[in-house]
Structure 1
Amino acid sequence: MGVGAVFQPWLQRWQLSADGDGLATPGSDLLPVRLPNGTAAMLKIARDHDERAGAALMQWWNGVGAARVFELEGDALLMERAQGRRSLMAMALQGQDDAASRIACDVVAHLHVRREAPWPRDMVPLQHWFEALRTAAARDGGMFASALAVADDLLATAEPARPLHGDIHHDNVLDFGERGWLAIDAKYIVGDRGYDYANLLCNPELRTVTEPARFSRQVDVIAAASGLSPERLLRWTLAYAGLSAAWFLEDGDTASADSDLTVASLAGAALGWQSQPA
């Protein structure tokens, strides 16, 4: 089993042993490892600022609602590794959609609990992320403009800001066995908690996400589990779906953008829009 050179200094520094093959993502390199005492862990080497900032937030959560961080230095993050066999994605597709949503909401609630420790440095206000939607609205109008109008109103009437995960979906909440369900791969934003719950209704990797009946049911489930009013959840969903579609178009992924725009339309319809507002 070969181990990439990027991991070698950290394997030696923290006395780790490789426990599988490495994996490269757009923003990081990952390697399953074991600590000297045999504990399963994941070594993650960030390749961009977003990944480094997200790692600092994971450390700040201190294992409450998120994977525990064992070490964090420079570009390298060493965190506990999920060993359970359950999957929220599988649950959502195999008749346990409501349960999967409630589990994810419970994890989000733990992440949002107020903590005495100061926030990590370099956290970005949520409104800055919506600049991508502002650009898309100016260029394309339509649903992007509608989503932006809703986003601006939500940001102007936001709940007190708190650190947000920023990318809650069915594959970022994993089964950690005795430790329960925990989040991984945080972003680095602060803002209204509604943003994190809207993510659950927009995941284009979940093939049922654009089904109207499924959407309506999950709005009720997530609103009840989160304590958000259905209307505010729908508005955050519309705003986030527009933003996500704008990001996907920037990446050339029109299929995922279309999925998000369909979700935005479902949210608009549920809010009582008879047709797309000008």
Structure 2
Amino acid sequence: MIEVPEALARSTVEREGESGAEWIAELPGLVDELLERWGCEFDGAVMHGGVGVIVPVRRRDESSAVVKVSFPHPGNVHEPDAFAAWGGRGAVLLHERVDERFAMLAEVEDGDEVAAVAGRVGRRLAIPAPPGLPRLRERADAWEEDLRKDAVALPHSVPGRVVDAAVATVRELGRVQPDILIHGDLHAGNILRADREPWLAVDPKGYVGDPAYDGGTLLKSRALTLLEADDLPKAVHRVLDMFAEAAEIDRVRVERWAQFHAVQAAFWGRRHGFRRARGGPGLDWLIAFADRLAELLTERA
């Protein structure tokens, strides 16, 4: 029986309360049940993300895989749907799924963070979307409302023109988006080095919308690396250029979505903190960087 990582248990209970505590208590038994159901054996240390566990296993045919069990939440519903639609093309193969338990048995390869190939992976994942997946265009009204509300309600130093640029992106790009399946959270940590293909995506949100949207999630994931850059504008320019060229999508759209993501992050950090820092100097530092990035991207737009 697995031991639930302490950090996952603590964050889940803090975030979800009693329902989170109940899920954590049931998790070891659920994993045992899934391993028996799928004929797998433990094959390594239990890992975790923000919302679930990842258990390395060996299947009956001696191949490696992972059992992933996520906390039951609407945001985790469509991950297996996206994997099923891609069928291993640019993403890991989904071997088994138990949707009512938010559980999957998936292909695994050796992990390695790489941002330079995100555009190529995104291009491979951009396929006509199956029905029933969440459309990003349906979030546009809420995005605009939140941006305007936060700009008024929160103490901040984000210039009005920066907020206006993000709102314009929502209005001009967010409300009319193609029926294309995209990852939705494409960044270096969600791309694995592989044998079957050079790189494979994991942990998709399974959204439907503009492939350029993922350029913003990629840029946010590079924040710590960008902070070390001698020339921040040049470093940002290079990341977005590489992504857009490899993904074969419009560079301006990528930059506008990246600016929108940066403004969202600046306000989100003030309201909720970030996973890397919930308070104190670390949070202040990340918020200041989000502000700087949002303004930089507005100047370039």
TM-score (normalised: structure 2): 0.75
For 1:65, what is the secondary structure of its paired residue?
coil
Structure 1 residue aligned with 2:14: none
Instruction: Choose the corresponding residue for 2:107, options 52, 75, 80.
Output: 80
Task: Name the CA distance, whole Å, in 1 between partners of 2:150 and 2:223.
Answer: 26
Distance 1:177 1:207 in 2: 27
1:57 is matched with 82
The 1:249–1:64 alpha-carbon spacing in structure 2 relative to 1, beyond 3 Å, is farther
**Residue 138 of structure 2 is aligned to residue 138 of structure 1:** no
Cα shift at 1:207? 2.3
* Identity rate, percent: 25
Give the match's secondary structure for 1:168: coil
Of residues 173-182 and 49-58 in structure 1, the stretch that sits farther from structure 2 once superposed is 49-58
Confirm whether residue 147 of structure 1 aligns to residue 169 of structure 2: no
User: Do residues 114 (structure 1) and 128 (structure 2) align?
Assistant: yes
Q: How far apart, CA to CA, are the structure 2 residues paired with 1:10 and 1:65?
A: 26
1:194 lines up with 2:212 in the alignment: yes
Distance 1:150 1:129, change over 3 A: closer
1:12 aligns to what?
A: 36
1:229 matched residue in structure 2:
250
SS state at 2:105 partner: strand
Cα distance in structure 2, aligned partners of 1:221 and 1:145? 27
* Offset from partner CA, 1:18-54 (integer Å, 9 cap, x none): 1112233332222111111111111011212322322
The whole-number CA distance in structure 2 between the counterparts of 1:241 and 1:130 is 18
Maintained 8 Å contact 2:143/2:170? no
Q: Which amino acid aligns with 2:96?
A: E
**Higher helix proportion (structure 1 or 2):** 2
Give yes or no for contact 2:128–2:179 (8 Å, CA) kept in 1: no
- Where 2:54 maps in the other structure, the secondary structure is strand
1:125 counterpart residue number: 136
Give the match for residue 247 of structure 1: 268
Deviations 1:53-107 (A, max 9, x none): 22221222111111100001122101011225x431xxxxxxxxxxx42x11110
- How many residue pairs match? The answer is 254
Give the whole-Å Cα distance in 1 for the aligned partners of 2:288 and 2:137: 23
Are residue 171 (structure 1) and residue 189 (structure 2) matched? Answer: yes
**Structure 2: 5+ residue runs without aligned partners?**
4-27, 153-159, 275-282
Distance 1:66 1:188, change over 3 A: same
Q: How many angstroms apart in 2 are the aligned matches of 1:237 and 1:33?
A: 37
> Amino acid of the residue matched to residue 34 of structure 1?
R
Q: Distance in 2 between matches of 1:163 and 1:146?
A: 26
RMSD: 2.5
**Could you give the per-residue CA deviations for residues 127-152 of structure 1, whole angstroms, max 9, x where no partner exists?**
41772563243232533443123222
2:93 aligned residue? 68
Deviation at 1:235, TM superposition (A): 1.2
Cα 1:164–1:258 shift into 2, 3 Å: farther
- Structure 1 runs (4+) deviating above 4 angstroms are none
Residue deviations 1:172-202 (CA, integer Å, cap 9, x gap): 1111123220110111321112101232222
- TM-superposed CA distance for 1:170, in Å, is 0.8
Matched residue SS, 1:163: strand
